[in-house]
Chain A
Amino acid sequence: MPKSHRVARFWAGLLACSLLAAGGCKTSDDATAAATQMSATAKALSDYYAGLDVILEDTVQIQQLNSQLYAKPFSADNKKQLETTETELQTRIALATDFCSLAEDFAKLTGSTAPADVAASAGKLESEVESLSSVQASSTEQTAMKTALQLLVTAVQERKEREAARAMDDFAKGLSALFDKEAPVWASRQQVYADLAGALAGDLVDQGATDNSGLLKVALDPFGLTVAAPTGDLKSQLAQVAKQEIATKKDALNDCYSKATDAMSKSLAEMSKRIDLVAQDKPMSFRVPPLTLANVEAWATKLSSN
């Protein structure tokens, strides 16, 4: 075969590799975007379920107090029912924990976290390409060849990303659907917790078991004045203010939870969408940063700081 034909075939082969890999590069970026969304979502889902666990434990304690202080019955059967709810929650917590591991493994397949030995071997290969100067290839040709080989390596890695994404695709869709389906149940548990806690706090205010003078600090602190124990009308007026505070904070807690749930749902849906695009080898029309889950963090923090 004439030399010109062999050279032409060689470069045609490299061009094919380049084209194959160039398409894959986009996928790698998309896989990285999916992995980022997945990691953020997995962590937030764990925090979300952990927050619900706090609610269930606090509900048990509130009902025990209600029973001891106000003769509201809290039967062994109802305590057991709450424990059953907690058992159900534990299966979802375990799912979220495994999901975190999955997100970490998927991240290994994308971007800069690829095993170092692959990078080292790729470097070795590049240096071998350098030696092609002995065949009088021009520097432009060598550069093109090195680029093509680097892209080939990337393409092979990305094929793994797509395989992994396909494996995760159904799970991501299912998890998102399950979360949305169960959202009313967990929202109900949150509302009941807030109602029980608010009612108990209100009962304690009515009984004069709380020191409500702190409500005056906002007016007195700037002038260096301290609060004296309120008496008479002021005492009963402050009790009313305290009960209004309870109602306001109860609404705020419910609102905070509602926003956290909404953010969690959107993040799961976005994650599922991104994984599906990688699995189907379709490019993302545009790439946005992971959806913020600050609402979930705020709600979880609010509960853990109680």
Chain B
Amino acid sequence: MANALLDVQNTFTTLNANYNMLRAACQTDQQRTDLAAQYEAAETAYNKCVNKMLADDDAAVATLSTELKAANEQIAKSVQQMGNMSKVIDDITTAVTTGAKLAAMAGL
């Protein structure tokens, strides 16, 4: 598909680069009209080819968005849990303090 894109790209850009010269060489209005139609067709083919390739990735983009959302939620949850770490540590502190007091009372 990438090669096909390159082909239609070359057709369009080559026509664009030589358009003024070709138009000047046209001898009738019909020739100028035909030339303009070919130019428009070449640009349309190129633009459609680009959009087709990008649209083919829409599912992948949607999947990535979903994964990103899930990752964001997971991380937000992790950050939140990290915030609660202070409570966990407070609990540990209490246990250690109590243990120390008990040890002191026991004369350890």
Contacts and interface: CB of A to CB of B under 8 A. Distances in A.
Interface residues of A, number: 71
A195 B17 contact: yes
A99 B70 CA distance: 12
Contacts, number: 190
B100 to A, nearest CB: 5
Name the residue in B12, B37, B85, B90 with the highest tally of chain A Cβ atoms < 10 Å from its Cβ: B85
Contacts of B19: 70, 72
A131 B100 contact: yes
A118 B64 contact: no
A84 interface: yes
A196 B83 contact: no
Contact of A160 (B48, B72, B82): B82
Contact of A117 (B20, B55, B86): B86
B25 interface: no
Contact of A178 (B16, B47, B57, B89): B57
Name the residue in A101, A121, A199 with the highest tally of chain B Cβ atoms < 10 Å from its Cβ: A121
Given A121-B85, A153-B89, A188 B57 contact: no
Interface residues of B, number: 60
Nearest to A200: B16
B64 A75 contact: no
A122 B93 CA distance: 9
A81 B53 CA distance: 13
A65 to B, nearest CB: 12
Contacts of B83: 115, 117-118
B9 to A, nearest CB: 5
A199 B23 contact: no
A88 B54 contact: yes
Interface of A: 3, 63, 66, 70-75, 77-78, 81-82, 84-85, 88, 91-92, 94-95, 98-99, 101-102, 105-106, 108-109, 114-115, 117-118, 120-122, 124-125, 128-129, 131-132, 134-136, 149, 153, 156-157, 160-161, 163-164, 167-168, 170-171, 174-175, 178, 181-182, 184-185, 188-189, 191-192, 195-196, 199, 203
Which 5 residue pairs spanning A and B have beta carbons closest together?
A81-B47, A167-B74, A121-B89, A160-B78, A121-B86
Given A72-B36, A128-B97, 14 more contacts: A63-B43, A72-B19, A72-B39, A74-B43, A81-B44, A91-B65, A92-B61, A105-B75, A106-B75, A124-B89, A125-B93, A167-B71, A171-B64, A175-B64
Interface of B: 2, 5-6, 9, 12-13, 16-17, 19-20, 23, 32, 36-37, 39-40, 43-44, 46-48, 50-51, 53-55, 57-58, 60-61, 63-65, 67-72, 74-76, 78-79, 81-83, 85-86, 88-90, 92-93, 96-97, 100, 103-104, 108
12 contacts: A70-B19, A73-B40, A78-B40, A99-B68, A105-B76, A122-B89, A124-B89, A128-B96, A131-B97, A136-B108, A167-B70, A184-B5
